[in-house]
């Protein structure tokens, strides 16, 4: 009787310990799950904070301020001999025309210092826009027309952030006199904001209001074109050889180890390699998409080889065995069966590698692609910049208006990266086969 009571007490104690242990385990699992949810929420929160900050600073670049000025396109100033020669009209002092128009609009401005402040209301490049308008339509020579011209960057900032204490907001770069003139223009409807086509359709400039990303975007496209043309066939063929044909010996082991090590080498090392070999030894053109593509191809090649080998290895051996059993050669088996089945994974790895190459800056700085490039490159050997390098240059500029352009360029770059990664995901989901 006593032993039976003891056995039941022991059983109850054992069940209690088991129940308490299960409760502790389930509590730990709930805590671990909660920690994971909190971690994901924090990561998403910081990501949204980062994107929100970039969007808040960059969205204003979509609009540009213009000032309406009545311009006298006098024949004596533009084409004094009335020859109609485009070269003569292009050489006229259109900046002087704008200055004369501003003086006529504000006749009370007499002193030289005041005139300089008045002239700084409009962009230095406004004269070039006036010249282009005359060359496009020579019939306006000899007439007086009201023209919308580009405002200077500080005026643009002031007008976009117009408040009662806007002069203080402008950081002292806009004088009280200039603010008074801007207020007068604003009251007369002579100031407006329009969609900033120039940002998407022009190259870089020292003046923030004239700077655009077209040259950098074109340079990135040409550079990635060279990278893809070099790295895709070389990477896929190397992966096929190592995975399907190479014997398993000491030399292939050395090659595989070196490929894995190269994938972890810092990108600036590849820039130093390009500087030493492609520039100093081979004499290729500095700051050109061709050399940028070569350097990025060297950097991306190990990643493409590793991802392609993983895709080939994922193809079941039964595919190879069935093809060989039906009389196909080793080459036919690889080219007609294994490679097509592995191609979705290969393409996914290639797109991810290209996305990494698109965002690289350090190797391109080493080969001189940090140069100030205004013209849009038209070939692989023309001087060019890329979007990451353009962002680096603008971020280092002291002008405040470059802040919004830097943020806008980051948004464009992130858009390209998101599209490339989205394409990789869609390709994987569409063509991936589960074995």
Residue 335 to residue 352: CA distance in whole angstroms: 24
| The pLDDT of residue 163 | 64
CB atoms within 10 A of CB 354: 22
Compute the radius of gyration of the chain from its Cα atoms: 33
pLDDT tens, the chain, 435 aa long: 555 655 677 777 777 777 777 788 888 888 889 999 999 999 999 989 988 888 888 888 888 988 888 888 887 777 777 777 788 888 888 788 888 888 888 888 788 888 888 888 888 888 888 888 888 888 888 788 888 888 888 888 888 877 655 444 444 577 788 888 888 888 888 888 889 888 888 888 888 888 889 888 898 899 999 999 999 999 999 999 988 888 888 888 888 888 888 888 888 888 888 888 888 888 888 888 888 899 999 989 998 999 999 988 888 888 888 888 888 888 888 888 888 888 888 888 888 888 888 888 888 888 877 777 777 888 888 888 888 888 888 888 888 888 889 989 999 888 888 888 888 778 777 766 665
| The pLDDT of residue 168 | 42
Q: Are 301 and 356 contacting, i.e. CB atoms less than 8 angstroms apart?
A: no
Sheet containing 63-72, strands listed edge to edge, beginning at the edge strand earlier in sequence: 144-150, 63-72, 191-195
DSSP states of 358-380 as a string?
HT--HHHHHTTTTS---SPP-ST
| The pLDDT of residue 41 | 93
Residue 172 to residue 152: CA distance in whole angstroms: 15
Q: Are 118 and 181 contacting, i.e. CB atoms less than 8 angstroms apart?
A: yes
Cut 0.75: pTM above it:
yes
| The pLDDT of residue 172 | 53
């Amino acid at each position: 009787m006593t032993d039976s009571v003891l056995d039941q007490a022991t059983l109850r104690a054992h069940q209690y310990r088991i129940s308490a242990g299960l409760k502790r385990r389930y509590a730990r699992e709930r805590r671990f799950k909660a920690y994971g949810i909190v971690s994901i929420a924090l990561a998403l929160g910081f990501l949204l904070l980062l994107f929100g900050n970039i969007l808040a600073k960059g969205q204003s670049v979509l609009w540009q301020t213009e000032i309406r000025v009545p311009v006298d396109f006098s024949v004596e100033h533009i084409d004094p001999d009335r020859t109609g020669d485009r070269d003569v009209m292009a050489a006229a002092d259109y900046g002087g025309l704008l200055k004369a128009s501003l003086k006529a609009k504000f006749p009370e401005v007499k002193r030289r210092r005041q005139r300089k402040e008045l002239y700084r209301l409009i962009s230095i490049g406004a004269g070039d826009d006036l010249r282009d308008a005359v060359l496009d339509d020579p019939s306006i020579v000899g007439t007086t027309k009201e023209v919308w011209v580009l405002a200077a960057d500080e005026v643009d900032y002031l007008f976009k952030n117009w408040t009662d204490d806007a002069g203080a907001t402008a950081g002292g770069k806009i004088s009280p006199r200039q603010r008074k003139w801007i207020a007068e223009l604003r009251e007369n409807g002579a100031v407006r904001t329009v969609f900033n086509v120039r940002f998407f359709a022009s190259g870089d400039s020292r003046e923030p209001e004239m700077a655009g990303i077209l040259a950098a975007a074109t340079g990135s496209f040409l550079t990635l074109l060279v990278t893809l043309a070099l790295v895709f066939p070389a990477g896929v063929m190397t992966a096929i050889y190592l995975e399907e044909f190479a014997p398993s010996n000491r030399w292939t082991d050395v090659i595989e180890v070196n490929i894995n090590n190269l994938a972890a080498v810092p990108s600036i090392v590849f820039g130093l390699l390009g500087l030493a070999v492609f520039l100093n030894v081979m004499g290729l053109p500095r700051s050109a998409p061709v050399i940028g593509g070569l350097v990025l191809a060297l950097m991306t090649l190990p990643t493409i080889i590793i991802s392609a080998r993983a895709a080939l290895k994922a193809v079941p051996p039964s595919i190879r065995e069935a093809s060989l059993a039906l009389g196909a050669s080793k080459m036919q088996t690889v080219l007609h069966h294994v490679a097509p089945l592995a191609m979705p994974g290969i393409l996914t790895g290639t797109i991810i590698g290209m996305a990494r190459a698109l965002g690289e800056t350090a190797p391109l700085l080493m080969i001189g692609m940090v140069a100030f490039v205004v013209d849009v490159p038209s070939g692989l050997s023309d001087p060019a910049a890329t979007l990451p390098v353009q962002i680096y240059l603008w971020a280092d500029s002291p002008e405040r208006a470059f802040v919004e352009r830097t943020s806008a360029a980051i948004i464009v770059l992130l858009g390209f990266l998101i599209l490339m990664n989205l394409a990789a995901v869609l390709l994987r989901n569409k063509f991936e086969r589960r074995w």
